[in-house]
Chain A
Amino acid sequence: MDWTALFLSLRLAGWTVAILLPLSILSGRWLAYHRFRAKGLVEAMVMLPLVLPPTVFGFYMLLAFGRNSPVGDMWLRLFGHQLVFTFEGLLVASVIFNLPFAIQPSQRGFEAVPVEVREAAACCGLSPWRSLWKIELPLAWPGVLTAMVLVFSHTLGEFGVILMMGGSIPGVTKTIAISIYDRVQGFDMQGAAIMSATLVAISLATITATFMLSARIGRRLG
């Protein structure tokens, strides 16, 4: 069992969720409430990582954030090391790669809040910020929660993007999924089996907890 890799994966998934949660709420809400000419294009851009092969996505990430890119160059000057093949690099790729999972369910959640209810909140004197906290978020919560669960489990199991962007540096960028691949390559089927089962257990537990939580919220609203 590669505990280092497991904790690295959990850390990456946790940070990805932490960064994407506010982004998911704000962009999902914004897309849900606004109509504009390029909306279809924006939605398509958000969904793009979903249809791209992870290796292709990782390749472009490598190009975009590598030493020869403006972003990579700026990062190098600011922090004295490269962005690619580091944990931060993985996190950046992971955040971008998970945008569709973070935004789409949350957008659907906010779309389910009736426009009259939002207007009623405003007419009750609630500022847009208080309306979000007191009225919209409690109603759109199942969507946001689904988004976060998808992001978490998806990051935990991601392989292609991580390998392209991070390589496989133990303790830095070697996540559990890559470690499993390594074990299989090294004919350590038992180690791979234990780690795979652990990943299945964690994913199952997360999804079960979400369903139970959603059902409780549903009962409360019903």
Chain B
Amino acid sequence: MAPAVMALDAMAPEAMALEAMAQATAPIPLDFAFRVEPGELLALVGHSGSGKTTVLRTIAGLWRPTVARVSIGGRGWLDTAKGVDLAAHRRRVGVVFQNYALFPHLSAARNVMAAMDTPDPAGAARLLDLVNLHGLGDRRPAQLSGGQQQRVALARALARQPDALLLDEPFSAVDRATREKLYSEILALRAHLKMPVVLVTHDMNEAQLLADRLVVMDKGRMVCTGTTAQVMADPTALRAMGIREVAALLPATVVSHLPDGLTLLETPAGALFLPLLEAAPGTVVRVRIMAHDVILSRARPEGLSAQNILAGRITRIVAGQGPAVMVHIDAGGHEILARITRRAAETMGLQVADQVHAILKSMSVARDHIAAGAPAQGGD
């Protein structure tokens, strides 16, 4: 894999930021504006029909809203005010479509070569190696599994040497086990991608685990943008995503794998025991902790089955319209969210700046809520 990654490093010599905005009321309502830095992964999240795929299609040149501007490194791809509208095949984008849209009559290698300016069989083989498809270049799409087709689609998108990489629900058609593997592979690949990456997904877990920054879409409108922590603090975004998707992202380092089938991880807020991870000790992972899985206690609890007790300080308590409140806790410099009942918060007399312990069952963290790579910090 090493030489293949080096091939990727050599590609796309200039890294440029992607800027996109659009305003339209019909036929598809749209209202968004964002900028993606070189090497940054921006996730567009929202329910189906929220317009996120249309945003991607606008960038790729497959859709033209009434008023829109798309530029890469300041160069205009689309500017309705100036009458600029580069055809899709003239925009240097790599697109991974939801159902991959591979060319069914061409082998995997020829699919990849179709996106090259000058077909280069050796280059195609290197790209297929990079996405772990060594030796499968002669297979046609119908002879490949869903996960393998997805990898061919990614290799094809990279073969275009794109100025921007666009991923449209790339993991929605593969099974859970394949998806988990693809997450790690994408995160490993990301370190070598110098172009801006836009990921469209309806899956908050995927967005949080993979992205540096999120844009939440609702009915074509961008309702919120920011890091996971910033988005989770925004009530409008929470309404658009659904309250049950609220979760914090905690960086953790794998310490050791225990004989009882658990993995011990270290976080700035304390030790975490999670179901066995396939990651070597020392690996940095991001763990998604769902707000509704967290229990709060004032005193450090004893005689409890839950093994993960993280100490922290309350920074905010946000009451919604329902019976629950969202408690934001600073645990060793990282935010943990706990969604508890208003009644519990009142009974405990929780106040901002109080010391609390966040308790989490090991088994409540699903395997696909953990991925390699540290989450992004800060941002705008």
Contact = CB atoms under 8 A, between A and B. Distances in A.
Contact of B117 (A125, A139, A221): A125
Contacts of B104: 117, 139, 221
B101 A122 contact: no
Interface in B141-184: 142, 156-157, 160
Given A116-B97, A222-B142, A123 B103 contact: no
A146 B99 CA distance: 29
Interface residues of B, number: 28
B105 A123 contact: no
A138 interface: yes
A126 B89 contact: yes
A120 B160 contact: no
B60 A123 contact: yes
A124 interface: yes
Contact of B62 (A117, A122, A134): A122
A70 interface: no
A127 to B, nearest CB: 5
B103 A119 contact: no
Contact of A120 (B92, B95, B117, B142): B95
Interface residues of A, number: 21
Contacts of A96: none
Given A135-B103, A139-B104, A221-B105, A120 B89 contact: no
B115 interface: yes
**Interface centre among A117, A124, A126, A222, by most B CB within 10 Å?**
A124
A37 interface: no
A220 interface: yes
A46 to B, nearest CB: 28
Interface of B: 60-62, 87-95, 97-99, 101-105, 114-115, 117, 140, 142, 156-157, 160
Contact of A123 (B95, B99, B102, B117): B95
Given A119-B88, A123-B60, A123-B157, 15 more contacts: A116-B99, A117-B101, A117-B104, A119-B95, A120-B95, A120-B101, A121-B89, A123-B93, A123-B95, A125-B89, A125-B117, A128-B89, A135-B103, A139-B105, A222-B142
A66 B88 CA distance: 48
A127 B94 CA distance: 15
Contacts of B115: 124-125
Q: Which of A122, A123, A125, A126 has the most CB of B within 10 A?
A: A123
13 contacts: A117-B101, A117-B104, A122-B87, A123-B61, A123-B62, A123-B88, A123-B91, A124-B89, A125-B92, A127-B89, A131-B89, A135-B103, A139-B104
B61 A122 contact: yes
A58 B114 CA distance: 48
Nearest to A120: B101
Contacts of B62: 119, 122-123
